[in-house]
Amino acid sequence: MDQRLHFITLATRNLDAARAFYQDGLGWEAKLDVPGEILFYQVAPGLLLGLFDADKFAEDLGRSAAPDVSGVTLSHNVGSPEAVRRTVESMASAGGTVLKEPAQGKFGGIFHAHVEDPNGVVWEIAHNPGWRINDDGGVELS
């Protein structure tokens, strides 16, 4: 199995709230939007984030109960502590809930915050001076 992810799909109870947050609030553009079913956003080269109706998500896995999203954090890195603050303000204005205000983290000089989207998906917004992406897409962590 190649070391490669092509889709991340999240069980989503309220697709309209997701659309209002990501699209109307943050200005993201959907790759595909099937109301009541699924919303796809491209979030990295070759990678789509799928927000899938929670009942259909459960059905697809052969499970009876629509699950909440738990045990997962999505991180978005920005270039400075100030950009962390600005991004968190944008997310709060768009309807996100700030779980952890921007602050110095415990490791590696990271400055970060946590914001929950309207369906309980947790985003970490971070400035990490030891992280970078090379021209070839390779990630370096120091």
Give the footprint of a copy of itself on this chain (CB under 8 A): 1-11, 26-29, 31-32, 40-49, 54, 57, 61-62, 67-77, 87, 90-91, 99-100, 114, 122, 124-125, 131, 133, 136-139, 141
- The alpha carbon dihedral of 28, 83, 14, 55 has a sign of positive
Among 84, 72, 102, residue whose Cα is nearest residue 10: 72
Which of residues 75 and 80 has its CB atom nearest to a copy of itself in the complex? Answer: 75
Dig out the tokens for 46 from the structure: 């070759």
How many whole angstroms separate alpha carbon 16 and alpha carbon 118? 10
Pairing of strands 47-53, 7-12: parallel
| Residue with smaller CB distance to a copy of itself, 16 or 100 | 100
Judged by CB, which is closer to a copy of itself: 7, or 109? 7
C-beta of 16 vs 108, nearer to a copy of itself: 108
Residue 48's DSSP bridge partners are 7, 42
Q: Tell the smallest beta-carbon distance from residue 80 to a copy of itself (Å).
A: 14
CB of 9 to a copy of itself, least distance (A): 4
Cβ 35 to a copy of itself shortest distance, Å: 15
Laid out side by side, the sheet with 111-116 consists of: 97-104, 111-116, 122-127
Beta bridge partners of 106: none
Q: How far is the CB of 3 from a copy of itself (least distance, A)?
A: 5
